[in-house]
Amino acid sequence: MSASVSAIRLGFAGSVGGTPLIRVRSLSEATGCEILGKAEFMNPGGSVKDRAANNMVEVAMATGALRPGGVIVEGTAGNTGIGLALMANAVGCTASFVVPSNQSQEKIDLLRSLGATVELVPPAPFKEPGNYFHVARRKAEATAGAFWANQFENLANADVHYRTTGPEILVQADGVVDGLVMAAGTGGTIGGTSAFIKERSPKTSTWLIDPAGSGLYSYLKTGEIKSEGSSITEGIGIMRITANFQRARIDDAVQGSDAEMLAMAHWVLRHDGLFLGTSAALNLVGAVKMARRLGRGKRIVTILCDGGGRYQSRIYSPEWLAANGFAGSVDQSTLDFVR
């Protein structure tokens, strides 16, 4: 047996974290920087959200906010719900989720396959009572024995990234990270990870990459939450400052378009064998933009949030791309963007 084989881990919770940091060869060669992706799609539930789900449930059970036989309620774009559903099964609870109806069918189907109850609601701005966040909160308040995970404001989200994701990155990168870049949804990953890395490595440049339709880029640049347009990315971009995002230590912000994200997703699939979701692809767009700005020879780290299987009927479907105005642009924009 190889000496590198890890010790036995305990179930789902014990399998979360410890994901590899991988070199994205094609992008590293194209930019002259070392572009590294934290392979969070290798968590047992398939995404970075497994970390938050695990910690939120463990903290809730330790404090008595959730007891065996209780119900975990959450509003989710999918990935946090998947992690919470698996944790619910592991600790003897059930799960009930409110999901915007514009999320990928793959994620909705998977949530139901895991045993969760899924209520689909039309997409609505946060200020409206029909927004999935508010619907989930009301459902939790009306359900006996319910624990509302509240991933946007629950600091157990950012805390787990401060305790695990940030330290893992620095150890795996031998303490040398010139740049860290990622998008934000709840703000937990960027909040905890950037806080830890800036604390230990103050010279590291930390960036947000924001999709269209999100107000975080404007907030970081001007102090005002404003947005333009919309994006097909799922689970990232927001029009408010969450408690988790307030923990982030961010030096700069850039924007990434849907065309750039799609181009990147198809580029790394064909050139690196990486089958990634929308937020992971956008994060790599951010890594390339940071590489161009910082110059050759830098080590840049981002988060590969989840895999492409949850978006197969969308961004990897020629029919869906054609119907949404992206047909014919993927190959050409890929070449222009990366090179």
- Asked whether the CA dihedral 71, 100, 54, 207 is positive or negative, the reply is negative
Distance CA 217, CA 208 (A): 8
Within this chain, domains 11-47+161-338 and 49-148 share the same CATH topology: yes
The pLDDT of residue 2 is 38
Residue 286: Cβ within 10 Å count? 28
* CA–CA distances in Å: residue 169 to residues 132, 199, 203, 295, 296: 33, 13, 15, 21, 21
Instruction: For residue 110, give both structure tokens.
Output: 């998977």
Q: Are strands 21-23 and 34-39 parallel, antiparallel or unpaired?
A: antiparallel
The domain segmentation of the chain, as residue ranges, is 11-47+161-338, 49-148
Torsion of CA 299, 303, 307, 313, to 10 degrees: -100
CATH of domain 11-47+161-338: 3.40.50.1100
Question: What one-letter code names the amino acid at 79?
Answer: N
Distance CA 247, CA 244 (A): 6
The pLDDT of residue 333 is 61
**Positions marked active-site:** 49
pLDDT of the chain, 339 residues: tens digit per residue: 334 556 888 899 999 999 999 999 999 999 999 999 999 999 999 999 999 999 999 999 999 999 999 999 999 988 999 999 999 999 999 999 999 999 889 999 999 999 999 999 999 988 899 999 999 999 999 999 999 999 999 999 999 999 999 999 999 999 999 999 999 999 999 999 999 999 999 999 999 999 999 999 999 999 999 999 999 999 999 999 999 999 999 999 999 999 999 999 999 999 999 999 999 999 999 999 999 999 999 999 999 999 999 999 999 999 999 999 988 767 666 667 776
Torsion of CA 176, 182, 188, 194, to 10 degrees: 30
Alpha helices, DSSP H, located in 92-243: 105-113, 132-142, 156-160, 166-172, 188-200, 216-222
For domain 49-148, the CATH class is alpha beta
The pLDDT of residue 1 is 32
Q: Buried b vs exposed e over 150-180: b needs ≥16 C-beta within 10 Å?
A: bbbebbbbbbbbbebbbbbbbebbeeebbbb
Q: 211 exposed, middle or buried (CB, 10 Å; 0-12, 13-18, 19+)? A: buried
